[in-house]
């Protein structure tokens, strides 16, 4: 493959998309009431269609961690994702941070999301990602809830230091958290006794592309591990409605370099080999 030759590695990485819309971002929660979600212009479908085209052009498959709330409103979009050969996974139903829920409410959310997604897509949903990577040492009970709901793996930890999320002391690579569920963290590169963000999100937009490429290559070559990379549909949408009244830091983080993300993703697809999370983690054919 050209990607393998460019990277100098045969490692296959996992490409993942957190399927939510711009008004559902956790950083906007204090500015946008949930009661207004229905009234806001939704742009997720057009952005997902563009992503599906990018993946098709790049010859790659991915895992789509999808909100149940979104799936109920755009079932045909979910069915297109599966029809294109991608993995469908859960981002919960209502995009509520796990560290803000009791165990019973969390179980109800993830069980509902799984049922909604499976009913719409007609396929098994094995994976879950917590909104804002909100599973940590204080709520490890969440993994028991995931196992009880029938999930096989989670990708809910980003081992970095961040003011909104992150568990810098967490294991950097796939590990068992109970007898039924694996945790597959977002990728970091270990340099100078610090974890550096190699797995996407806002860092991918903020840093020069060459830095992200170097960090992923470092993990592939030095750690001999697959990278777990993520982004959101709204990150390729510079024309999305602007949310007013937000503080300067939140505004910068959300809107920085949106116009360049799609082009950077094209480079990412060229420079590395990518596949669905289930295939990368479990070797599922």
Q: Encoding tokens for residue 124?
A: 């098994």
| Calculated CA dihedral for residues 54, 56, 57, 60, nearest 10 degrees | 90
CATH of domain 2-122+192-282: 3.20.20.370
Residue of higher predicted confidence among 88 and 167: 88
Q: Give how far the C-alpha of residue 145 lies from the chain's centroid of Cα atoms, to the nearest Å.
A: 20
How much is the average pLDDT of 227-238?
98
CB atoms < 10 A from the CB of 124, how many?
A: 13
- Angstrom CA distances, 6 to 9, 218, 267, stand at 8, 14, 11
Pairing of strands 182-183, 153-154: parallel
What pLDDT, in 10s, does the model give residues 179-204?
789 999 999 999 998 999 999 989 99
Q: For the segment 109-155, what is each residue's pLDDT rounded down to a tens digit?
A: 999 999 999 999 999 999 999 999 999 888 999 999 999 999 999 99
Domain ranges of the chain: 2-122+192-282
Task: Report d(CA 118, CA 127) in Å as an integer.
Answer: 12
pTM of the model: 0.94
Q: Give the CA distances from residue 75 to residues 30, 78, 88, in Å, rounded to whole numbers and listed in that order.
A: 28, 5, 12
Q: Where are the beta strands (DSSP E) in 91-234?
A: 127-128, 153-154, 175-176, 182-183, 188-191, 194-197, 228-231
Between 66 and 3, residue with greater pLDDT: 66
* 40: pLDDT strictly greater than 90: yes
Query: Distance between CA 46 and CA 113 in Å, rounded?
Result: 22
Q: Which of 184, 213, 188 is nearest to 199 (CA)?
A: 188
- Contact assessment for residue 80 and residue 121, using Cβ atoms and an 8 Å cutoff: no
């Amino acid at each position: 493959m050209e990607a393998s030759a460019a990277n100098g590695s045969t490692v296959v990485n996992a490409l993942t998309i957190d399927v939510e819309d711009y008004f559902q971002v956790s950083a906007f929660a204090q500015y946008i009431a949930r009661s207004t979600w229905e009234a806001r212009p939704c742009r997720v479908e057009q952005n997902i269609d563009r992503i599906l085209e990018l993946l098709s052009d790049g010859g790659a498959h991915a895992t789509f961690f999808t909100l149940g709330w979104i799936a109920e409103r755009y079932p045909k979009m979910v069915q297109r994702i599966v029809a294109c050969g991608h993995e469908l996974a859960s981002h919960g139903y209502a995009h509520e941070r796990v560290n803000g829920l009791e165990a019973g409410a969390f179980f109800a959310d993830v069980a509902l999301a799984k049922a909604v997604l499976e009913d719409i897509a007609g396929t098994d949903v094995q994976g879950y990602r917590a909104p804002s990577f909100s599973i940590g040492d204080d709520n490890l009970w969440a993994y028991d809830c995931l196992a009880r709901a029938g999930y096989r793996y989670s990708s809910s930890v980003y081992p970095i230091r961040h003011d909104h999320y992150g568990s810098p002391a967490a294991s950097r690579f796939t590990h068992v958290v109970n007898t039924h569920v694996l945790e597959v963290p977002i990728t970091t590169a270990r340099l100078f006794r610090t974890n550096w963000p190699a797995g996407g999100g806002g860092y991918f937009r903020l840093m020069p592309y060459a830095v992200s490429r170097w960090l992923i290559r470092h993990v592939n070559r030095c750690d001999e591990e697959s990278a777990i990379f993520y982004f959101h549909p709204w990150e390729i949408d510079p024309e999305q409605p602007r949310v007013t009244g937000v503080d300067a830091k939140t505004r910068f983080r959300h809107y920085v370099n949106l116009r360049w993300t799609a082009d950077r993703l094209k480079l990412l697809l060229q420079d590395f080999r990518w596949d669905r999370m289930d295939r990368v983690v479990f070797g599922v054919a």
